[in-house]
A and B are shown apart, each in its own frame.
Chain A
Amino acid sequence: MDEAILIEQAKRGDSIALASLLQANYPMVVKYLTKITFDPHFAEDLAQETMIKCIHKIGLYNGKSKFSSWLITMATRLHIDEWRKRKREKEWQASEANIRKIQWQAAAMDEQWSETLDIIGKLPQEVRTAIVLKHYHGFSLEEIAEMMGVPVGTVKSRIHNGIKAARKERGNDAETG
């Protein structure tokens, strides 16, 4: 069924229409969160929280952006909140361990852990999120700023810094290699 019709029905309280929308968008949300967290389990938890938030906020969806973009915005904000909370609690040491875990998993699947993935994985969370939104999903700087709740200039500098770090890393590797 057409997404716009499902959204209208969901806003009027149709649980099956809302469940269908959530089911159709669930894989996209999990994949997005996996790319920004580099932690598939955490990504699934956050995706479920995003679905719950969507159930409570569906009445506020105004159709200005695509439904998927609206979900990505909620997922991004939940991730930022969670990240701040964990950082405050000094428990955010998962990054390195996650990368090692994924590297191991990649090796077990006979997949190559590339230099690019290594660079992306080591980027700060907020920089990685901006890069994924820009260079994977193709959102504009204005849209990303809205999603992350920061000024456009901040998004621009985060993306610039991320790409600069990637170039630098590649340059260093080219020199040593």
Chain B
Amino acid sequence: MQKQDKHNEKLTHNKQKEQIEIIEQEAIEQEAIEQEAIEHNIKLELERFEGWFPLHTPDLTSFVRLVEEQKTAGRRRLFRDLSLFGAVAITAVTTSLIGLAQLPGIYAASQAAVFVGFTVWVAVFNRKRAGSI
């Protein structure tokens, strides 16, 4: 009798468990359906939305003009940057050469100072980086 009761209890428990699983599964499916509906609705509404604004696409000539203007501006910018770079480089090289010819001692000392300074800076930077890793 007791064994039968236990068996019945187990059956009831299993049934309840199954029912809970079914309810959970249904909830997940319902959620997925709802999510899909929301996503579909978003797409439809955005399609409708974009149609509200009149869109004027300029003709090909305007685009060609824009391309030409931008290319010319780009070339000008490149020329300006290269000129600036060239001027700075020439100044630096000339200063170095004058220094070497006129004051070789000071030139050698400044070169050594820059070399030592740069080496120390690299060593400190690498140590800091290694510490942060």
Contact = CB atoms under 8 A, between A and B. Distances in A.
Partners in one complex: yes
Interface of A: 15-16, 18-20, 22-23, 26-27, 30-31, 34-35, 40, 51-52, 55-56, 102, 105-106, 109, 111, 114, 116-117, 120, 131-132, 135-136, 163, 166-167, 170
A109 B52 contact: yes
B43 A52 contact: no
A164 to B, nearest CB: 10
Ordered nearest first, which 4 A-B pairs have the shortest CB separation?
A19-B63, A19-B64, A116-B45, A55-B70
Nearest to B70: A55
What secondary structure prevails in chain A residues at the interface with B?
A: helix
Given A22-B67, A40-B53, A163 B38 contact: yes
Given A34-B53, A114-B45, A15 B38 contact: no
Contact of B43 (A26, A27, A136): A136
Contacts of A16: 60, 64
Interface in B11-36: 34-35
B48 interface: yes
Interface residues of B, number: 28
Interface of B: 34-35, 38-39, 41-43, 45-50, 52-53, 55, 57-60, 63-64, 66-68, 70-71, 74
A23 B42 contact: no
B63 A131 contact: no
Contacts of A116: 38, 41-42, 45
Given A116-B42, A163-B35, A167-B35, A15 B50 contact: no
A26 B59 CA distance: 11
B42 A19 contact: no
Contacts of A132: 46
Contact of B42 (A30, A105, A109, A131): A131
Contact of A19 (B34, B45, B55, B66): B66
A105 B52 contact: yes
25 contacts: A15-B64, A15-B68, A15-B71, A18-B67, A19-B63, A19-B67, A23-B59, A26-B63, A34-B49, A34-B53, A35-B49, A51-B66, A55-B70, A56-B70, A111-B52, A114-B45, A116-B41, A117-B45, A120-B42, A135-B39, A136-B42, A136-B47, A163-B39, A167-B38, A170-B38
Nearest to A119: B42
Given A22-B63, A22-B67, A116-B42, A56 B74 contact: yes
A18 B67 CA distance: 7
